[in-house]
Structure 1
Amino acid sequence: MTPTGAVHEALAALELVDHHCHGAVTADLTFHEFESLLTEGESWPGVSPFDSPVGIAVRRHSAPLLDLPRHAPPDAYVARRAELGWQEVNRRFLSAAGVGTFCVDTGYTPQPITSPAQLARAAGAVACEVVRLEQLAEAVAARGVEAGEYPAVLRAAAEEAVRRPGVVAVKSVAAYRTGFALDPRRPADAEVTDAAARWLATGGRLTDPVLVRHLLWTAVDLGLPLQLHTGFGDADVRLHRADPALLTDWLHRVAGTVPVLLLHCWPYQRQAAYLAAVFEGVYLDVGLALHHTGPARARAVLEEALEITPFRKLLYSSDAYGVAEFHHLGALCFRHGLAELLQGRVDADELTLTDALRIASWTGRDNARRIYGPPVSEPARVPRGRPTRKV
């Protein structure tokens, strides 16, 4: 892939803000372990995640950063990863991503992964934290709390969490727990207490619709940007309930309060674009859809997201988790797809080059800086020394 044109050059040089991602694993991976992290689903006998768009993209675009030929066979690829060791693998891919700031969701840790500080050191970048609300509520319940005290204790725990240095946003995974077809009203105190009594008596994950609504309204009260998982995820999500358009009535109620950032969105990027076009405080990204569809389709996904989205409303995120290849691939697919889209419009005289370069900077970096503020708006504090991209 040898992209040409001023927009390609500008995006290749742009230090991105990855406004939503996770850590990378801190262990060497077996072949099966690596395969399992390539997919949001499961691995089945005779069906390898390497034989998927993202698996092909890894072999094509990640292999050269491990000093392997493009399209290296899967067994050779995983063996080379093990030979280099996880620290060096993470350093190569994270630095090659060309990201200046990572906003890291610290609430999903099914296996040991890098902390935000470790991620930043490996990349030569800055890392901020995004607090996951459901995990916070479950921690409050695990410590022991009376149902009548739950709202106040949760609020105090949330306020303490967001005061930690480097916290720039909160996140909800309501899409996984209940879906978005929720009563949009703020629940009354008595409703929250009754729901808390039921939940605390049985334990387990927070899935009560009243308590999930309470978390969303708590996020509004905290005053920080609120990230919401929408659309594509693992098998735990019921995709038809994760359509962001189901949030319309709630968005009317919270208009003028906090920025609401719709994460990932696929296959609902057009619905998310509509919401961003009609609500002042709504923003979106297409997240992991880019590396899961690969460079060949990144432009198409971004074109649908940008059909009606104001250019100040689209952000970049990778949603990378586990394998640092995804931090790199997400950035690569975003740069390539957006450059192809914008350069095509310049060539067709639908955009001036000046406008295209402005939109590229807004989307890849400046929109996130404007929404999250410091420390996202600070420059990277560690020399990058990133390897040359071999694409």
Structure 2
Amino acid sequence: MLPADLPDALRDALAAPLVDHHCHGVRRDELSRAQFELQITESDSPAPPGTTHFDTPLGAAIRRWCAPVLDLEPHAAPAVYLARRAELGAGEVNRRLLEAAGVVAFLVDTGLERPELLTAAEMGRHGGAAADEIVRIEQVEQDVAEVADVAVDYMDSLAEELAARAARAVGLKTVIGYRCGLDFDPSRPSRGSVIAAANRRLSDPKERLDDPILLRHLLWTAVDVAHRRGLPLQFHTGFGDSDLDLDRADPARMTGFIRALQPLGVPVILLHCYPFHRQAAYLAGIYPHVYVDVGLAMTHTAAGSPRVMDELLELAPFHKQMFSSDCYGVAETCHLGALYYRRALAMALKSRIDAGEWSAADAARVVHMIGSANARRVYRL
């Protein structure tokens, strides 16, 4: 899995258990081929007729690296792979692949909770790891909006429910980048504007929240909760599902908000970031409360992941980087997220050692920071 000629200290550090600081539940049910293929792409559409989502970097990686975990030869054909998956059953597949990731703690975004997905506790049990919750603030808002009667109740209940959920969590997360882009007005909205927007919201509360005023109010309410409880706040940035406008997901667009938060000291964690990981690295280098990962990119760029990791390491301070798999839907994404993180980091650091820029001891120390120590410090694990 790792290059053969790594220094022993670096190899040992890369083999150490990881803290997966951002992931989701994987499915407990059996999947058809069509269902499985939709779980290995960020698209919400099937591959065009006569083609397959296995013909992607991630699809090739599943056949190469996940097949042996299921007792198949590397590069097994998709039909053979899926037949073996069905033969073992979802429970055994999940156990094998989650354990193979070598994760000691899962921090699970529970905003996508559905009956078919493993809970945070189940992710931990299947993976032989600890598990904690990351609260998605937009899901809390949805729950509050569906029961609030008037705008003032909505505002009070939102603050109360966020505080209650945060008391059981190790962090908060927002997907405001999906809802209105990261180029939002960084200021707190006025109380009057929030009341007016809340009245409009409560007239049709089952709709997905996309009002910029209420999203900013939600975000600043979450900031207040995070500040009181000493919790970090995660932001989805960079590429993702098809309902995201990529040009508005550049984390550099939220620089004004990052500046506004600096006096409070609330840690801002920029998730995924690709293809804006260089901008994210800059922000992490400039602002003391900003952290970064390239989680989703490791899995989806697969064999190309060393280039992404190398570019992140160009500028981002090593004490500001973290590992995440962003696994979701199928446990293959957890195993591959960890595998390509380790491979990409190994190749990037080996090139520095070979050039005489780094010592093996320094490389091993950085691996320890990025793989687990930074997350333990920031999330207070």
TM range (shorter): over 0.9
Residue 332 of structure 2 corresponds to residue 325 of structure 1: yes
Shift of 1:144: 2.6
Alpha carbons 1:11, 1:335 under 8 Å: kept: no
Q: Which amino acid aligns with 2:212?
A: P
Which one of the candidate residues 177, 180, 187 is aligned to 1:178? 180
Q: Which amino acid aligns with 1:3?
A: P
Q: Tell me the equivalent position of 2:274.
A: 266
Q: Distance in 1 between matches of 2:276 and 2:328?
A: 21
Q: SS of 2:64's equivalent? A: helix
Q: Tell me the equivalent position of 1:219.
A: 222
Q: Which amino acid aligns with 2:146?
A: A
Q: Tell me the equivalent position of 1:120.
A: 124
Q: Distance in 1 between matches of 2:80 and 2:89?
A: 14
For each residue in 1:342-388, what CA deviation from the matched residue of structure 2 results, as whole angstroms up to 9, or x when unmatched? Answer: 111011110111111110000011000010013xxxxxxxxxxxxxx
Q: Tell me the equivalent position of 1:189.
A: 191
TM-score scaled to structure 2, two decimals?
0.95
Q: SS of 1:157's equivalent? A: helix
Alpha carbons 2:97, 2:331 under 8 Å: kept: yes
Residue 248 of structure 2 corresponds to residue 244 of structure 1: no
Alpha carbons 2:10, 2:364 under 8 Å: kept: no
Alpha carbons 2:2, 2:343 under 8 Å: kept: no
Shift of 1:111: 6.0
Q: Compare 114-123 and 141-150 and name the one that shifted more.
A: 141-150
Question: Structure 1 vs Structure 2: percent identity of aligned residues?
Answer: 49
Alpha carbons 1:264, 1:288 under 8 Å: kept: yes
Which one of the candidate residues 147, 150, 171 is aligned to 1:146? 150
Q: Which amino acid aligns with 2:30?
A: D
Q: Which amino acid aligns with 2:124?
A: A
TM-score scaled to structure 1, two decimals?
0.93
Runs of 5+ unmatched residues, structure 1 = 375-391
Q: Distance in 2 between matches of 1:58 and 1:363?
A: 25
Alpha carbons 1:256, 1:280 under 8 Å: kept: no
For each residue in 1:153-194, what CA deviation from the matched residue of structure 2 results, as whole angstroms up to 9, or x when unmatched? Answer: 100010111112xx1000000011000111111111111111
Which one of the candidate residues 278, 292, 314 is aligned to 2:286? 278
Q: Tell me the equivalent position of 2:343.
A: 336
Alpha carbons 2:2, 2:346 under 8 Å: kept: no
Q: Which amino acid aligns with 1:310?
A: P
Shift of 1:47: 2.5
Return closer, same or farther for 1:111/1:175 CA change in 2, 3 Å cut-off.
Answer: farther
Runs of 5+ unmatched residues, structure 2 = none
Q: Tell me the equivalent position of 1:381.
A: none
Counterparts of 1:1-391 in structure 2, within 5 Å, are 1=1, 3-4=3-4, 5-6=6-7, 9-41=11-43, 42-44=45-47, 45-109=49-113, 112-164=116-168, 167-203=169-205, 204-223=207-226, 224-257=231-264, 258-294=266-302, 296-374=303-381
Q: SS of 1:202's equivalent? A: coil
Return closer, same or farther for 1:129/1:65 CA change in 2, 3 Å cut-off.
Answer: same
RMSD (CA atoms):
1.2
Shift of 1:202: 2.8
Q: Distance in 2 between matches of 1:172 and 1:104?
A: 13
**Greater than 6 Å deviation, 4+ residue runs:** none
